[in-house]
Each structure stands twice: as C-alpha cells, then as structure tokens.
Amino acid sequence: MTSNDAPHQKPANPNFSSGPCAKRPGWSLDALRDAPLGRSHRAKVGKAKLKLAIDLTRDVLEVPDDYRIGIVPASDTGAVEMVLWSMLGARGVDMLAWESFGEGWVTDVAKQLKLENVRTLTAPYGELPDLKAVNFENDVVFTWNGTTSGVMVPDADWIPADRAGLTICDATSAAFAQPLDFAKLDVVTFSWQKVLGGEAAHGMLILSPRAVERLETYKPAWPLPKIFRMTKGGKLIEGIFEGETINTPSMLCVEDYIDALHWAKSVGGLPGLKERANRNFEVIAQWVHRTPWVDFLATDPVTRSNTSVCLKVVDPAVTTLPADAQAAFAKAITSGLEKGDIAYDIGSYRDAPAGLRIWCGATVQATDIEALTHWLDWAFTVAKGSLPQAA
C-alpha cells in the first residue's frame, strides 16, 4: 500500500493482538531480573513467588476472601477444562455460546463428556442469547466476554442470588477490565496473557465456597487425569490454592505476571485498569461514529466489549462482494498495516465474520489507538481504490 496521504504518526506500540496482548507500558526484560530461574518451584523462594502472584491477584481483582485462587496449567483453556470435567454431571447444564470459544465449551460438554441433560442457548456473532431463558436449576457455563465476537454480558443482574446450580464463567478477556460480580459467579477462569499482557500457558482458577462444596461432595462417573484433580480423599487439595501448583510452572512467566500486577496497582488497581480500557474503547467508539465505512460487530451498544473490539466493514462497495472477496478486502487492510509496522494481528478471528479485531485492554495506550484510527482510514481508502468497481 502506498499513498501520499498516509498519516505521519505511527502508533508507538503496534501490538494490538487479542492474545497474547501488549505488554504494560514501559515493560522490558529487566522487569524479570528477580525471577528465581534454575530453582525449584517447590523451594521456599518458588512457593513465595507463586503465593505472591495469588495474593496480588486477590488484591487487584478484588476477589472475596472466602474464594480460592489457584494457578493451573494450560492457560484459560486448562482452567475451564478442569472445571468442566471435575464439576459437571451433578445436575443439568445450560451452555451459552455466541462465539467460537463458547461453542468450544459446548462441544466438550455435549460431545466429549456426553452429558445427557444439556441445553444449549446460542446466538449469532454480534448478539447475545436470551439470558432470561437460562435455567438456574442447572449449572450454567458461559463466557463473560466473547473474545472473537466483541460481545459481552452487560452485567450479572440476570443471575439470581438463590440459584441452585453453579455459574461457571470463562472471564479471560473480561478480568481486570470489566466489573465481575463475584457474588453471582461460582467459578471464574482467566489467563495472564489478556488484559494484563502477561505470558501464555498459565491459567487462573477462582472458586466460590459453593464450587468447593461441589468438588468435595460430587465424584464424576469418568476418570480424571492427574492434571485435572483438585481433591484427594473427598477434600480440596488446599495447596493448589496456596501456590503448590499441580505441575511445574515457568518462574519467568510468574515473575512477569507479578510485574504486571504491581503495575496494575500503580495505575489505580481495578478501577484504574477499567478506566484505561474504557478510555481506549471510547477512542474507537468515537472513530466508528464518525466513520461511514465501519461499524461494531456487536449490535447492542450495551454489550460491546471494551477489550476485544470487533468491527465489520459496512461500505456498500465491500458488502456487495462475495464473502471470500470481503474477507480478502479485510485482509488487505490488516496485512498492509502489519507490513508497515503500524498494527499487528488486528484481523478478525478465523471463525468469526471477516473484519477487524482491535485489543483495547489496559496495557494499550489511548494515543496509540487514536493514531491507529487514522491509519485504518488510509488503509481502507487504498484497499477500496484497488477494487475493480472503484477503478
């Protein structure tokens, strides 16, 4: 892409990926100098670091004192799978899905666990299922924020306090950016590489007292691999929630997560993180409002994510093209910006409608989002100029 009208100011940080996400402002490898490399995670220094990561998580995320927090393997996916395989089957299950990761949990429950009493409530990309239709006599599994659709639940008001089943919430793109109501959530999972820009492969599992009770009173009919086991002799393995991880963690990644949590406290903790994400989203929202060729994928403003912001091209010259040509058009925009070191990884998720996905979490600077919007306008103009009907 070339044009004499190209903007002059590039984003200082071109990392807008929705995972792994941008590191905190000012981050460098020097931030990891205190990592106990070459030491056992079971040594005193290793346990102390893992416990610190848990304690800081509770502090910054404002997790209730009677909820357990554990570091588990395999990122958010591992945390969710541990819960699905360890807790479900005690009663019916309502599965909510409106994007690819929610659909993945449906596949696990219906086709892998093969539970019989499963209801699936779905919605197309850009919308939410009917939350009023959820049966809370059942366990309920849902994503708080659909990373691949940019659609989030607006709040937890739809969840009753006197529910019979457990609420199991995949909050990986919501934690630290959206107001999680822990009183309404029995299980919360997330990963380090999202809003805080940590490293991948480690997940976080947060359990309410009700969730712990389920683990201690219910035994699934199927065998559990060691990596999923959270009880022994009918009792919770408390060490998991004190830093004694099930398998060996990367102490380098642990140090990076601790650094991110300290940074989070320095910008005002949870309120400060939410404010930064909201400010980033507002820059995008104002640009969309004044830009005729683009719109949000999320149809309802109340459900629009402030982290994984998904956009669609609505210019008639593009929307009248075949689906594969629309996808090629969106790719022309994203690949051109990536080649110019302006924006990396802003294409929509592979299973989502063709378009853009721009991460606006707390580690991204609003000035970089603002600079990006000018480049998006330029890239669109250049790409549209290459269409045969625009010649």
Three-point CA angle 253, 259, 262, nearest 5°: 145
Q: Is the pLDDT of residue 280 over 50?
A: yes
> Distances in Å between the alpha carbon of 348 and those of 20, 100, 352?
15, 12, 6
Query: CB 18: neighbour CB atoms within 10 A?
Result: 25
Q: Is the pLDDT of residue 1 over 60?
A: no
- Do 32-265 and 269-390 have matching folds? no
**245 neighbors 203 (Cβ within 8 angstroms):** no
Cis amide linkage into residue 20, ω under 30° from 0: yes
User: Which pLDDT band holds residue 390 (cuts at 50, 70, 90)?
Assistant: very low
Locate the domains of the chain by residue range.
32-265, 269-390
User: Which pLDDT band holds residue 3 (cuts at 50, 70, 90)?
Assistant: low
What pLDDT digit, counting tens, does each position of 20-58 carry?
999 999 999 999 999 999 999 999 999 999 999 999 999
pLDDT of the residue at 242: 97
32-265: CATH topology is Aspartate Aminotransferase; domain 2 (3.40.640)
Task: Provide mean pLDDT across the span 219-226.
Answer: 96
pLDDT of the residue at 5: 85
Angle of the 366-385 helix axis to the 323-339 helix axis, nearest 10 = 130
Q: Is the pLDDT of residue 374 over 90?
A: yes
**333 neighbors 375 (Cβ within 8 angstroms):** no
> Distances in Å between the alpha carbon of 69 and those of 30, 35, 50, 184?
28, 21, 11, 16
pLDDT of the residue at 391: 40
What pLDDT digit, counting tens, does each position of 351-370 carry?
999 999 999 999 999 999 99
Task: Provide mean pLDDT across the span 65-86.
Answer: 98
What pLDDT digit, counting tens, does each position of 119-154 carry?
999 999 999 999 999 999 999 999 999 999 999 999
Name the CATH superfamily for 269-390. Answer: Aspartate Aminotransferase, domain 1 (3.90.1150.10)
Task: Provide mean pLDDT across the span 299-325.
Answer: 97
Task: Provide mean pLDDT across the span 293-314.
Answer: 98
What lies within 8 Å, CB to CB, of 186 at 6+ separation is 166, 167, 168, 207, 208, 210, 211
What pLDDT digit, counting tens, does each position of 313-352 carry?
999 999 999 999 999 999 999 999 999 999 999 999 999 9
What lies within 8 Å, CB to CB, of 237 at 6+ separation is 229, 230, 231
What is the DSSP annotation of 197-265? ---SSEEEEEE-HHHHHHHHH---SS---GGG--EETTEE-GGGGGT--SSPPPHHHHHHHHHHHHHHH
**Residue 111 has which token pair?**
């086709």
pLDDT of the residue at 223: 95
> Distances in Å between the alpha carbon of 345 and those of 20, 91, 360, 375?
10, 41, 13, 15
**165 neighbors 187 (Cβ within 8 angstroms):** no
Three-point CA angle 300, 306, 308, nearest 5°: 95
Q: Is the pLDDT of residue 182 over 60?
A: yes
Is the pTM higher than 0.85? The answer reads yes
The fraction of the chain above a pLDDT of 70, given in percent, is 98
